[in-house]
Amino acid sequence: MLLTDRVALITGAASGIGRAAARLFAREGARVLIADLDETGGRAAVAEITATGGTALFVATDVSKTADAARAVDTAVRTWGRLDILYNNAAPTRLCNERDRAVHELDEAVWDTMINVALKGVFLMAKHALPVMMKQKRGVILNTATINALVAEPGVDSYTAAKGGVIALTRSMALNYAKYGIRVNTISPGYVVTECQQDWIKDPAARAAAEALHLTRLGKPEDIAGLALFLASDQGEFMTGSNVVIDGGFTAFKSPPAAGTFFRPEA
């Protein structure tokens, strides 16, 4: 197993990509701390993992709050004595889908929430995890970004800005903490069908429009989890400071205007 006896803290792991990663990491031998605001989903994820013989724990966490970030890291260390992997995956995706806009239409409160969770949350979680990893002289931090930070899409400006900041922060952290044996990488997914998209993806026309933007198919949470496993394990030990795109070929051939229905198939 690739993560035997490693301790992984995954934010946003009550659903979607984070939950798929939690399952896979546990299956590969990691002890997993699920940090999320969604207590129902988080505890269900723990039950799912423990039912198959894995080890997992849930802690209610708002990554935009210093006290919550500190508590999540402290819980992992107090429970298992170390922290090997931090996977920053939390983001207000529903907010992006429903209320993100172009700058002149964007509500300031939406901007603040997006930046606080998707960017500040990465900063706060890393701020509290890094001293533990520095002491260990070993650690891996993975940050979820998006292809929107590389190929702009109309009308998701706060999400794009926050995730662009995540990519830049990742590079800086990789540079600053390499001397402590800490690797830091970003994963930029393309379109991944999670719980948030279940309503509209059932519409054949909407699904066909989304599929036409890809060379292969729409993504699954498990696709991203597999890449995260590679980067978190020793197999990825030569990778740091990278932004790894996993998008079914989307950025290989699509121009920004063609991406206009990427998050809003009804447009």
Residues with catalytic function: 159
Q: How far is CA 217 from the centre of its chain?
A: 20
Long-range CB pairs of 110-116, under 8 A, 24+ apart, other chains included: 110/158, 111/158, 114/158, 114/159, 114/161, 114/162, 115/158, 115/161, 115/162, 115/165, 116/64
Strands (E) in 6-99, as ranges, are 7-11, 31-36, 55-60, 85-88
Sign (positive or negative) of CA dihedral 3, 185, 114, 211: negative
From edge to edge, which strands make up the β-sheet containing 7-11? 55-60, 31-36, 7-11, 85-88, 139-144, 182-189, 243-246
Grouping H, G, I as helix, E, B as strand and the rest as coil, residue 12 is coil
Cβ pair 8, 30 in contact under 8 A: yes
Cβ pair 73, 126 in contact under 8 A: no
Helix (H) or strand (E) holding 223: helix 221-232
